A and B are shown apart, each in its own frame.
Chain A
Amino acid sequence: MPSFPFRWRRKSRTDHPVLIESTPGGLRLLFISISLLALTALPHFNHIRLEVMLIFLGLVSYRGLAARYRWLPRNRWIVYVFAAIGFTVAAWFYGPPIGRDPGVAFLVIMLGLKSVEITSRRDVGIVVLLGLFTVMTHFLYADGVNWTLPLLALVIALFWLLAQMEHATPRVFMISDIKLVGKMLLQALPVVIILFYLFPRLSGSLYLFQGTTSSGVTGLGESLKMGTISNLIESEDVAFTASFFDQPPPPASERYWRGNNFWITDGREWTRGGHGTHLIAKDRGQIRQNRYRYEIELEPNNQNWLFSLDYPLEAPDQAWLQGDYHLVSKQPVKKKIRYQLDAVSFTGADQLTEQEMRLALSLGRTQITPRLETLIRSFTEGTSSSVMVANRVLQYFNQNNFIYSLSPPILASQAPVDEFMFDSQKGFCGHYASSFATIMRYAGIPARVVVGYLGGDYNPRSNQIVVRQSDAHAWTEIWQQDRGWIRVDPTAAVAPERIEGSIDISSLGSDGRVLFDSNNLIGFKRLYIETIWIKDAIKAKWNRWFINFDSGRQKELLKSLGLDKFEFKYVFMLAFLVAISLLSLLSAWLFRSEREKIDPVSKIISRFDNKMRKLGVARNPNEGPRDFQLRASKALPHLENQLAEITDTLVFLRYNPEVENMQPGNHGSSKDSQLALIKSKINQLKAKQNPRSA
């Protein structure tokens, strides 16, 4: 690195730094700086109030305009005014800056204020530091790989800006800058690795330190109302990922991921209900056939249940398994979790308790219209077999022009099941499942609605099934004395392709009819699927390596390194603190030694400069001794003679040839004695006495 006396690196000795926009290329540097600052804060647009964001953008623009229109004031007072306005607005909407969102809002206001305060080129360094800090705050909201990469780009841009400060004039492309940025990144890498792997972990990723609501986290709801699942299906977000280790996954038609069972209905809405169903799972451990062991990595959904492939054998650590195969999570899923499960394809003829039986047959306030009653009668006529009745209903669906559609008409009447069965005949899984369950119950067959996901994309790259929100599904189960719960998916009767393939949102017909993926993927289609697979595989690796590296995994790592013997957390903290203090001592010493290396004359000159600064006249770094003497004498006329004397000696010692020939001890005018003399004279310099006290 060149050892230039650049002003921004040193503690400035100047009272009036050169205005950044007055330097060559300074205008460009200023605009790049404030644009980068704005860019680092801009992603917060999603989380903070528009008003706060507008104030921020206003402040940044103000600084930009002030570069062009110099008459715009940029003094202390205007900053106070802006600060008052900004903080008042932020406090109005957020209250005190406690918590994530208020903190970020105040930070953004302060960023804007700082941009107004940019004066000299040195201040660009502050912009870089603030920018890096702001980048960090984005991880309070999200930590996905697709989010991290743009932030990394921002960090690189900020490093580039830092490199620009090596030059007085910024240039967009310079090999040496790129090298410098690369060097900085590489130098940071070992520190990052050490801190990432060894710094004591708090459990949970950063963006869960929010304390506020997890609004926007999607997932299945607490109830099934005709129409609610439609929104879900249109989201391509990943719900969870299931890894099947060395086993091939179950076929697509068997991939029913159970989430919640709905027992209670009021004719329109199905809910779990606040009671019942706490049955102990039966021992089905001996079942060996079609047994799958898999691991689920569940995205946060803020719900109280976990998903499992039908039918779970035992509950993972994080949950209780209930009698209806519902996995109740011990805590709401607020962060990404992983759990392992065994699935068997057989339920083992569960028996119902009286209470369950009552629940499974209750229709609540459901209105059964006469024509619906007649229809149901026709299903039950002449048979006592539940399966037979179910088949008749399915057949009815199949043969009566029912349409599977993601945008069905709104069912506004008091009897939505009736309206669906006879008038609209258009709907998706939720409509079919709830209508079917209602019909079953009215026919005296215990039935319940199950919501969860169906299918998922098998990614051969990672041997995983990726289940997206668009795979959300609802189906039914009916109970039969000798067989227990039997899964019946009425949607299959209408759109069997829904069971085999996933819904392709891009191929929605204009009337809302869903066209399904065909199995022969060719050309671009194939490429598209491949891209998605690779994307998911990258995301899975990212999560595995970085996001899920929590305190538990850290413990494992430390164990493998043999560092778990003692309380590593505290040892590391201590080591970290020691390292930090050592580094600061080292840097202090380095700066000191740079000063020490200078000869005694330089030392005395800086002593003189310091003294003069205290007296209110600071020497500019580029001001020669005589120029300074003139200026200082004008400012401090009472010191004129002393200043002349001191400057004479300093100039003599520094620039005069004779000083080289001076021998020590040569009749009292040796360099050392001169230095001592001048030192005392500098110490005697005083501000003008108050005339009244004199």
Chain B
Amino acid sequence: MNHELQNKLDLLVEKANQIILGKPEATKLSIATLLANGHLLITDKPGVGKTTLANVIARLFGLDFKRVQFTSDLLPADITGVTIFDQEAQQFTFHAGPLFAQLVLADEINRATPKCQSALLEGMEERQVTVDRQTRPLPKPFFVIATRNPDEQSGTFSLPDSQLDRFMLGISLGYPDRQAEREMLINPDPRTRLEDLQPVLNADTLALLQTQVQKVTASTALLDYLQNLLAFSRQDNAFQSGYSPRAGMSLLAASRSWALLSGRDYVLPEDLQAVIPHTSHHLSAREPGTDITQFLLDHVSIP
């Protein structure tokens, strides 16, 4: 990888951290997800900066950005678009919905009905949308950053496991630390700073970086480790269900991306260990409330 690209990556991370204060790991994970061509799920309480994070990333990546606020009365057509009869042209024309953007922020996804959620999730997996029996491809690249409130909050529809599987990583931001919060209090409006933010990447450089991610080497030893982790999650009693094969693939992709962001062109066990704590939505523990990913990491040794 040449220096120019590496510099861009560094700049990307640096600029994101200038706005998202005190959350370097969360921003790095978000960037890694997008570089690995995956979708991101942010689970947290309202007001901790989920939307800001999505905004920052959209801007830095230079992506065409749309935001959908999910509500309980949202209809699938509201996000995919509708076909309307055009009087002048005497034909049906398609009016694309907000899903037809390079980066879609699906805000508070668990407030929408399951029907609406699945419209979004179909788009995420197929990267195409079927409206009125006509299948339309979504733009390239296509990312979804979905945010959700923790499920115990009232008025939400929890996402089924099979749909959660489509998010590569799931992060949560948490409250800022004291110093970061002080900075926020002094300089309260992040939106103004957001508007000053210049894109670091464009569609071409992003595509280039994505190919670089795919070229990151995962050695035999590392694949052994990954497969041990996958097998353990499927066979051990602590797990109701383990990683799916799709989850395994996205795990590797995310750790490749993490390795690249760490300035390496090969994956280390540490990279896997960095992303695994953010994949608990791919797993389900038999005993709720246990730190299932930590348990997994504790019990599988590195070959």
B 210-243 contacts with A by CB, 8 A: 217, 219, 221-222, 228, 231-232, 235-238
State whether A4 touches B232 (Cβ < 8 A): yes
B 186-229 contacts with A by CB, 8 A: 217, 219, 221-222, 228
A 1-36 contacts with B by CB, 8 A: 2, 4-7, 10, 13, 18, 23-25
State whether B299 touches A656 (Cβ < 8 A): no
Cα distance A151–B266 when bound, in Å? 56
State whether A655 touches B219 (Cβ < 8 A): yes
Instruction: List, in ascending order, chain A residues with CB within 8 A of B221's CB.
Output: 601-602, 654-655
Interchain CB contact (< 8 A) of B236 among A13, A168, A622, A625? A168
Instruction: List, in ascending order, chain A residues with CB within 8 A of B267's CB.
Output: 655
A 656-694 contacts with B by CB, 8 A: 656-657
Cβ distance A281 to chain B, nearest Cβ, rounded Å: 72
State whether B301 touches A622 (Cβ < 8 A): yes
**Mask for A480-519, Cβ within 8 A of B = 1, else 0?**
0000000000000000000000000000000000000000
- Overall SS of chain A's interface: loop
Cα distance A174–B238 when bound, in Å? 13
Interchain CB contact (< 8 A) of B269 among A23, A169, A624? A624
Task: Check if A170 is an interface residue, CB within 8 A of chain B.
Answer: yes
Cα distance A623–B231 when bound, in Å? 19
Cα distance A186–B292 when bound, in Å? 35
Known: A24-B286, A655-B266. A168 touches B295 (CB 8 A): yes
State whether B270 touches A624 (Cβ < 8 A): yes
State whether B270 touches A167 (Cβ < 8 A): no
Instruction: List, in ascending order, chain B residues with CB within 8 A of A174's CB.
Output: 237
Task: Check if B82 is an interface residue, CB within 8 A of chain A.
Answer: no
State whether A5 touches B292 (Cβ < 8 A): no
State whether B301 touches A5 (Cβ < 8 A): yes
A 413-466 contacts with B by CB, 8 A: none
Interchain CB contact (< 8 A) of A24 among B238, B273, B300? B238
Cβ distance A4 to chain B, nearest Cβ, rounded Å: 6
Cβ distance A10 to chain B, nearest Cβ, rounded Å: 8
Instruction: List, in ascending order, chain A residues with CB within 8 A of B295's CB.
Output: 23-24, 168
Cβ distance A490 to chain B, nearest Cβ, rounded Å: 72
Cβ distance B255 to chain A, nearest Cβ, rounded Å: 11
Cβ distance B298 to chain A, nearest Cβ, rounded Å: 6
State whether B228 touches A4 (Cβ < 8 A): yes
Task: Check if A557 is an interface residue, CB within 8 A of chain B.
Answer: no
Instruction: List, in ascending order, chain A residues with CB within 8 A of B285's CB.
Output: 24
Interchain CB contact (< 8 A) of B301 among A18, A25, A169, A621? A621
Cα distance A2–B300 when bound, in Å? 13
Cβ distance B235 to chain A, nearest Cβ, rounded Å: 6
Instruction: List, in ascending order, chain A residues with CB within 8 A of B222's CB.
Output: 655
Interchain CB contact (< 8 A) of A655 among B232, B268, B299, B301? B268
State whether B231 touches A2 (Cβ < 8 A): yes
Known: A167-B237, A169-B286, A622-B297. A5 touches B228 (CB 8 A): yes
Known: A627-B270, A657-B217, A657-B266. A622 touches B302 (CB 8 A): yes
State whether B303 touches A169 (Cβ < 8 A): no
Known: A18-B298, A25-B237. A657 touches B231 (CB 8 A): no
Cα distance A416–B302 when bound, in Å? 88
Instruction: List, in ascending order, chain A residues with CB within 8 A of B268's CB.
Output: 624-626, 651, 655
**Mask for B87-101, Cβ within 8 A of A = 1, else 0?**
000000000000000
Instruction: List, in ascending order, chain B residues with CB within 8 A of A25's CB.
Output: 237-238, 286-287
State whether A169 touches B236 (Cβ < 8 A): yes
Chain A residue with minimal CB distance to B235? Answer: A2
Instruction: List, in ascending order, chain A residues with CB within 8 A of B236's CB.
Output: 167-169
Cα distance A258–B273 when bound, in Å? 82
Sorting the interface of chain A by its residue count into under 10, 10 to 19, 20 to 34 or 35 or more gives 20 to 34
Interchain CB contact (< 8 A) of A622 among B235, B238, B300? B300
Task: Check if A171 is an interface residue, CB within 8 A of chain B.
Answer: yes
Cα distance A657–B267 when bound, in Å? 10
Cα distance A25–B236 when bound, in Å? 11
Cα distance A10–B299 when bound, in Å? 12
Cβ distance A25 to chain B, nearest Cβ, rounded Å: 6
Instruction: List, in ascending order, chain B residues with CB within 8 A of A651's CB.
Output: 268
Cβ distance A619 to chain B, nearest Cβ, rounded Å: 9
Chain B residue with minimal CB distance to A619? Answer: B302
Instruction: List, in ascending order, chain B residues with CB within 8 A of A601's CB.
Output: 221
Task: Check if B265 is an interface residue, CB within 8 A of chain A.
Answer: yes
Task: Check if B83 is an interface residue, CB within 8 A of chain A.
Answer: no
Cβ distance A395 to chain B, nearest Cβ, rounded Å: 80
Cα distance A10–B266 when bound, in Å? 29
Instruction: List, in ascending order, chain A residues with CB within 8 A of B228's CB.
Output: 4-5
Cβ distance B226 to chain A, nearest Cβ, rounded Å: 12
State whether A655 touches B292 (Cβ < 8 A): no
Instruction: List, in ascending order, chain A residues with CB within 8 A of B130's CB.
Output: none
**Mask for A584-620, Cβ within 8 A of B = 1, else 0?**
0000000000000000011000000000000000000
Task: Check if B290 is an interface residue, CB within 8 A of chain A.
Answer: yes
Known: A5-B300, A24-B285. A168 touches B238 (CB 8 A): yes
Cβ distance B127 to chain A, nearest Cβ, rounded Å: 30
State whether B270 touches A169 (Cβ < 8 A): no
**Mask for A617-655, Cβ within 8 A of B = 1, else 0?**
000011111110000000000000000000000010011
Known: A5-B300, A622-B300, A655-B221. A24 touches B290 (CB 8 A): yes
Cα distance A480–B222 when bound, in Å? 102
Known: A168-B299, A621-B301. A656 touches B219 (CB 8 A): yes
State whether A602 touches B302 (Cβ < 8 A): no
State whether B301 touches A168 (Cβ < 8 A): no
Cβ distance B261 to chain A, nearest Cβ, rounded Å: 15
Cβ distance A6 to chain B, nearest Cβ, rounded Å: 7
Chain A residue with minimal CB distance to B290? Answer: A24
State whether A656 touches B238 (Cβ < 8 A): no
Cα distance A3–B131 when bound, in Å? 49
Interchain CB contact (< 8 A) of B298 among A169, A170, A622? A622
State whether B287 touches A24 (Cβ < 8 A): yes
**Residue from the set A168, A601, A627 with the largest chain B CB neighbour count within 10 Å:** A168
Cβ distance A664 to chain B, nearest Cβ, rounded Å: 19
Cα distance A626–B263 when bound, in Å? 14
Cα distance A622–B287 when bound, in Å? 23
Cα distance A174–B286 when bound, in Å? 14
Cα distance A39–B292 when bound, in Å? 32
Cα distance A621–B297 when bound, in Å? 10
Instruction: List, in ascending order, chain A residues with CB within 8 A of B287's CB.
Output: 24-25, 169
Instruction: List, in ascending order, chain B residues with CB within 8 A of A6's CB.
Output: 299
Cα distance A434–B7 when bound, in Å? 115
Chain B residue with minimal CB distance to A4? Answer: B232
Known: A2-B231, A5-B303, A655-B222. A171 touches B269 (CB 8 A): no
Instruction: List, in ascending order, chain A residues with CB within 8 A of B298's CB.
Output: 18, 23, 622
Known: A655-B222, A657-B265. A171 touches B235 (CB 8 A): no
Cα distance A686–B183 when bound, in Å? 47
State whether A4 touches B219 (Cβ < 8 A): no
Instruction: List, in ascending order, chain A residues with CB within 8 A of B303's CB.
Output: 5, 602
**Mask for A139-152, Cβ within 8 A of B = 1, else 0?**
00000000000000
Cα distance A694–B74 when bound, in Å? 76
A/B interface sample: 27 pairs, CB < 8 A: A4-B231, A4-B232, A4-B300, A10-B301, A18-B298, A23-B299, A24-B238, A24-B286, A24-B290, A25-B238, A167-B235, A167-B236, A168-B236, A168-B237, A168-B299, A169-B236, A169-B238, A602-B303, A622-B297, A622-B301, A625-B270, A651-B268, A655-B221, A655-B268, A657-B219, A657-B265, A657-B266
Known: A4-B231, A5-B301, A655-B221. 5 other contacts (CB 8 A): A4-B235, A169-B286, A170-B237, A621-B302, A624-B270
Residues of B at under 8 Å CB distance from A?
217, 219, 221-222, 228, 231-232, 235-238, 265-270, 273, 285-287, 290, 292, 295, 297-303
List of 9 A-B pairs having minimum Cβ-Cβ separation, nearest first: A621-B301, A657-B217, A169-B237, A624-B270, A624-B269, A167-B237, A169-B238, A24-B290, A5-B301
Residues of A at under 8 Å CB distance from B?
2, 4-7, 10, 13, 18, 23-25, 167-171, 174, 601-602, 621-627, 651, 654-657
